[in-house]
Amino acid sequence: MKIERSPLQLLEFLFLLARMELKARYKDRVLGYLWSVGTMFALAFVFWIAFKIIMRVEMENYSVYLITGLFPWAWLQVGTISAARSFVANAPLVREMGLAHAILPLSNVVAEMMHLIFVLPLVIAWVFFAGGYGPSVSWAWQIPLLLLLQVAFVYPIALICALANAYVRDVEHLLGIGFLVLFFATPMVYPISMVPEPLAHYFELSPLYALMQSWHSVFLEGALEPARVAYAAGFAACVGAVAWLCYRRFAPRIGEVV
């Protein structure tokens, strides 16, 4: 007993929900945007001190490497964690919509993507000033492709987490720990060349690494390795299938558990 919506209406609905998320995130203030950007740059600065000054990472354009990894990662992490809360936080909406619409976690993921898009000019400016080279023409298709890839990558994970969190509320806390581990297990604030040999092999297998490395290579080399994109996309498709099964199995009862 779903409310019928045309694709256009779905998009409108998604837009309204995502705008709501963004408003909540910026807390109705322009400063909110500056704060969330500033926090990320401060974090990047801390890592720069830790890895460049103290641990002496040998790498060209390390600050560009840091910035271009941290922002997409923040999308991944914040998007998933906020999406995990989406059914619970919007419980009345879930109950009155009849079915737990898969659109709720998607709106969180899209809101975080919008945030990344808002930040992109700053990132590009950073690349220009710190790296010394301007935007390349190929970014015009590479960046949108990566945005799409990451939505496809994050959304199924976010959907599974949101469903799980509706049934067991501790998932959102566990996610925080999980992301902390993944953050350091994915070569992103340090180059993979720093990882000792047998481990590096496993690190390279991580689909997260493929995704993050794609961002890096676009901004650092203006190139996109098809194998990495395909690997990440393949992973996204597999998780997508699992997410779809979970959704079909668990969504009908969600109105009762949130």
Partner 1 sequence: MTVAVACDDLWKSYRARRPAGLRALMLGGTPRDTRFARQWALSGVSLGVNRGRALGVIGPHGSGKTTLLSILAGAIQPDRGRVAVNGRHASLLELGAGFHGHLTGRENIFLYGSTLGMPLKEIHALYAHIAEFSEMEGSLDRPLRRYSAGMIARLRFSVIIHSPADILLIDEVLTVGDARFQRKCLGALRQFKDRGGTLILVSHDMDEVAEVCDDAICLDFGSIVDAGTARDVATRYREQLAGRGRLGEAAAHARISLLVPSRGRPELLRRFLESTLARSERPDLVEVIVYADEDDPSSHGFQVEGLEVHTLVGPRATMGRYNTACFEKSRGEIVVIGNDDVVIQTRGWDRILREMHAAMQDGIYMAYPNDLFKGRGLSAFPILSRKACETLREPFPISYRGSFIDYHLLDIFKRLESHGHRRLIYLEEVAFEHMHYRTGKGDFDDTYGRRGRFADDRTFLQLRDERSAEANRLQDTIERDTPLAPRPVSASRVPAASLLRASLLDDELPWPWRLRLYFWFLARFAAAFIFRRGPSGG
Contact flag: residue 20 with partner 1 (CB under 8 A): yes
Smallest distance, Å, CB 30 to partner 1? 15
Binding mask 198-237 for partner 1 (x = CB under 8 A): ----------------------------------------
Interface region with partner 1, contact rule CB under 8 A, candidates 33-41, 50-58, 134-142, 167-175: 167-175
Sequential DSSP letters for 134-182: ---TTHHHHHHHHHHHHHHHHHHHHHHHHHHHHH-TTHHHHHHHHHHHH
Contact flag: residue 93 with partner 1 (CB under 8 A): yes
Angle between helices 103-126 and 139-167 (to 10 degrees): 140
Smallest distance, Å, CB 24 to partner 1? 5
Contact flag: residue 7 with partner 1 (CB under 8 A): no
Residue 253 to residues 32, 83, 166, 248, Cα–Cα distance (Å)? 36, 18, 10, 10
SS3 content of the chain, % helix, strand, coil (to 5): 80, 0, 20
Contact flag: residue 176 with partner 1 (CB under 8 A): no
Contact flag: residue 29 with partner 1 (CB under 8 A): no
Q: How many CB atoms lie within 10 A of CB 175?
A: 21
How many angstroms separate the CA atoms of 57 and 65, rounded? 12
Q: Counting every residue, how long is the chain?
A: 258
Contact flag: residue 98 with partner 1 (CB under 8 A): yes
Contact flag: residue 167 with partner 1 (CB under 8 A): yes
Contact flag: residue 23 with partner 1 (CB under 8 A): yes
Interface region with partner 1, contact rule CB under 8 A, candidates 14-22, 115-123, 179-187, 233-241: 14-22
Cα dihedral 114, 116, 121, 123, rounded to 10, equals 180
Contact flag: residue 17 with partner 1 (CB under 8 A): yes
The residue ranges that bind partner 1 (CB under 8 A) are: 1-6, 8-9, 12-13, 16-17, 20, 23-24, 27-28, 91-93, 95-99, 167-170, 252-253, 255-257
